[in-house]
């Protein structure tokens, strides 16, 4: 009897130690599909935006006529960009960050990937709107300091005030 009980306990301990692991690539692809559907549904319900996709990234941009900016700026990862922006969650419209009268400067290579793809599409004093899937924004990492949930699809309104190489 003791032997049977011991074998049963070992089996239970062995099975309880087994955890179902999820392949990170499967999670990434699943979230990408969710994000892409959110953006697609948004654009379908707002057909007049004239949004264009940046390559195959899933990032969409809108530049209104006359808001492209001026100049012949060359952008690299070390290019310093001075911007004003509003960041909101696309699905809720909740604003999570806004610069108002403060215009921070960043090296282009240090900002989220969605910005790295979108900002070079405009010039100094240009304005752009970016719809950014979570994989090109903050990904699965919640930003508690600004009350941003993990895997948030973002809507950025950006004005490029200055470009320094």
Of the listed ranges 19-23, 65-69, 71-75, 110-114, the one predicted with least confidence? 19-23
State the pLDDT at residue 22: 75
Overall domain count for the chain: 1
Can you give the CATH number for the domain in which 100 is found? 3.10.50.40
Structural domain harbouring 133: 24-164
Of the listed ranges 68-72, 89-93, 131-135, the one predicted with least confidence? 68-72
* Residue 8 within a domain: no
State the pLDDT at residue 12: 62
pTM for the predicted model, two decimal places: 0.85
Percent of the chain at pLDDT exceeding 90: 81
Which residues have C-beta within 8 Å of that of residue 121, sequence separation ≥ 6? 54, 61, 63, 128
Secondary structure, 3-state, 57-92: CCCEEECCCCCCCECCCCCCCCCEEEEEEEEEECCC
- Read off the pLDDT of residues 72-102 as tens digits, 9 standing for 90 and up: 888 999 999 999 999 999 999 999 999 999 9
- Cα separation of 45 and 95, whole Å? 20
CB distance 62 to 156 below 8 Å:
no
* Residue 69 within a domain: yes
* Residue 28 within a domain: yes
State the pLDDT at residue 2: 60
State the pLDDT at residue 17: 54
Percent of the chain at pLDDT exceeding 70: 87
- Read off the pLDDT of residues 14-49 as tens digits, 9 standing for 90 and up: 555 555 667 888 999 999 999 999 999 999 999 999
- Cα separation of 165 and 156, whole Å? 24
* Residue 7 within a domain: no
* Residue 160 within a domain: yes
* Residue 152 within a domain: yes
* Residue 39 within a domain: yes
The mean predicted confidence, pLDDT, of the chain is 90
Confidence category of residue 4, pLDDT binned at 50, 70, 90 = low
Backbone angles phi, psi at 123, to 5 degrees: -120, 180
State the pLDDT at residue 24: 85
* Residue 11 within a domain: no
């Amino acid at each position: 009897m003791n032997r049977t009980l011991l074998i049963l306990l070992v089996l239970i301990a062995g099975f309880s130690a087994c955890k179902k692991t999820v392949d990170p690539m499967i999670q990434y692809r699943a979230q990408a599909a969710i994000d892409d559907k959110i953006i697609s549904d948004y654009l379908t319900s707002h057909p007049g935006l004239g949004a264009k996709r940046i390559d195959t990234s899933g990032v969409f941009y809108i530049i209104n006529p006359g808001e492209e900016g001026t100049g012949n700026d060359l952008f690299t990862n070390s290019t310093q960009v001075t911007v004003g922006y509003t960041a909101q969650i696309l699905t809720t419209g909740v604003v999570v960050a806004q610069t108002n009268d403060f215009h921070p400067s960043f090296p282009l290579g240090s900002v989220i990937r969605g910005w790295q793809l979108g900002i070079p599409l405009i010039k100094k004093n240009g304005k752009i709107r970016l719809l950014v899937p979570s994989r090109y924004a903050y990904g699965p990492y919640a930003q508690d300091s600004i009350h941003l949930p993990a895997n948030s699809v973002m809507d950025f309104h950006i004005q490029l005030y200055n470009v320094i190489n």
